[in-house]
């Protein structure tokens, strides 16, 4: 069975001034109306959400996957995860995994620890998105260990339960980060690499996701969740080409080029 994991970041009300949105975040500011339409589609078409914990159990023969399965994930810990996404998930009895940047919690624009604890206590799965959301390949091994261990320890202390899942920031990582994550006690890693997951030997530590972007129409979304081969192929090939470019340029050069492209693409109008 092929397992689809969707990745979200921020949900906003329609009409937000694009000038107030950081350029690098522009693709991931999803309109609330579009988000609701997507979740309604999943509910009306009998999709069932599962947690990453259930995915691991399924791979071990301890859980039977629903016929129409999707995993919903959120990166960063933006306040909209609590104010918009969480109530919608409760309405439809859906679950999701929220990857938290622990240093961002209780800061403007992000959830509070009370928000995160409430979601955790009510069936939402919480994972780590590291302590500071640092660019990992630039860090020493000691600092990577610190990012992984401290975020995990903080989440476990605040929530009173073990944390087993990690999402890698920025999509830049090497084999050493995965090795360190295992040593720190994580059971699975979500990456930014586009793709569909299968139960092979190393699937846990390279969970691929499809990022839901603001310019995806509902037709595009339905094609993704129904795993239409031609649509997924285009997304995956585009992602692979970007990864080749990332490897050619260093991080700072890549981010400058990316921001120029995104500014041109999204800021030609005045709205997100």
Q: Is residue 272 part of a domain?
A: no
Mean pLDDT, consecutive 10-residue stretches, the chain (272 aa), reads 94 67 80 96 98 95 94 97 97 98 97 98 98 92 96 98 95 82 95 92 90 94 98 95 83 82 69 44
Contacts 24+ apart (CB under 8 A), 54-63: 55/3, 55/188, 56/187, 56/188, 56/204, 58/199, 59/199, 59/203, 59/204
- The answer to whether position 143 is within a domain reads yes
b vs e for 183-205, b when ≥16 Cβ sit within 10 Å of the residue's Cβ?
ebebbbbbbbbbbbbeeeeebbb
Rounded to two decimals, the pTM is: 0.93
181 occurs within a structural domain: yes
Any idea what the CATH number is for the domain that residue 179 is in?
3.20.20.370
Q: Confirm whether 170 is domain-assigned.
A: yes
User: Is 271 part of a structural domain of the chain?
Assistant: no
Predicted local distance difference test score (pLDDT) of residue 14: 63
- Number of domains making up the chain: 1
In a domain, 178, yes or no: yes
Residue 71 lies in a domain: yes
Domain that holds residue 131: 4-266
């Amino acid at each position: 069975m092929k397992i689809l994991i969707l990745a979200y970041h921020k949900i906003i009300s329609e009409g937000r001034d694009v000038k107030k949105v950081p350029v690098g975040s522009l693709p991931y500011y999803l309109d609330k109306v579009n988000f609701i339409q997507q979740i309604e589609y999943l509910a009306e078409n009998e999709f069932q959400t599962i947690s990453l914990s259930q995915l691991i159990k399924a791979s071990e023969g301890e859980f039977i996957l629903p016929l129409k399965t999707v995993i919903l994930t959120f990166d960063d810990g933006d306040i909209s995860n609590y104010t918009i996404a969480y109530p919608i998930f409760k309405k439809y009895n859906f679950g999701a995994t929220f990857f938290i940047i622990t240093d961002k919690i209780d800061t403007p624009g992000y959830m509070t620890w009370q928000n995160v604890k409430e979601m955790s206590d009510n069936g939402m799965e919480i994972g780590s998105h590291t302590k500071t959301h640092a660019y990992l390949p630039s860090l020493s091994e000691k600092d990577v260990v610190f990012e992984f261990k401290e975020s995990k320890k903080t989440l476990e202390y605040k929530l009173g339960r073990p944390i087993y899942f990690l999402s890698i920031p920025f999509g830049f990582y090497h084999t050493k980060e995965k090795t360190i994550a295992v040593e720190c006690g994580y059971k699975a890693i979500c990456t930014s690499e586009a793709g569909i997951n299968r139960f092979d030997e190393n699937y846990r530590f390279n969970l691929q996701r499809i990022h839901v972007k603001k310019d995806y129409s509902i037709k595009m979304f339905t094609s993704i969740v129904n795993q239409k081969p031609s649509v997924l192929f285009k997304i995956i090939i585009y992602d692979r080409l970007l990864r080749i470019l990332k490897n050619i340029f260093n991080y700072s050069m890549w981010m400058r080029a990316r921001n120029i492209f995104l500014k041109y693409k999204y800021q030609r109008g005045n709205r997100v």
